[in-house]
């Protein structure tokens, strides 16, 4: 889990994030997005395989009932 460090400005009293922490957060988000992209690709591949197998099944079932 990424924990962002903050510091409080003495002039304004606002809390700010360190620049390096923001860059780390962006890299972490990019890694997560890359993982989700890989998962999407795998799901698409599996969907194509299922469609192909269903088409093959349909063809085999039609051939089976022709010979009966």
Give the pLDDT confidence of 6-64 residue by residue, as tens digits: 555 566 656 666 666 667 788 899 999 999 999 999 999 999 999 999 999 999 998 88
Q: Which domain holds residue 39?
A: 6-67
1 inside domain: no
pLDDT at 2 over 60: no
21 inside domain: yes
Q: Taking the model in full, what pTM does it have? A: 0.58
pLDDT at 66 over 60: yes
What is residue 1's predicted lDDT score, i.e. its pLDDT? Answer: 47
11 inside domain: yes
d(CA 1, CA 28): 10
Specify the higher pLDDT residue, 67 or 63.
63
Domain count, the chain: 1
d(CA 41, CA 44): 5
């Amino acid at each position: 889990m990424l924990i962002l460090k903050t510091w409080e400005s003495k002039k304004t009293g606002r809390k700010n994030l360190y620049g390096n922490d923001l860059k780390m957060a962006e890299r972490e988000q990019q890694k997560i997005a890359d993982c989700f992209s890989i998962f999407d690709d795998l799901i698409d591949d599996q969907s194509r395989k299922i469609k192909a197998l269903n088409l093959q099944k349909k063809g085999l079932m039609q051939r089976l009932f022709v010979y009966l």
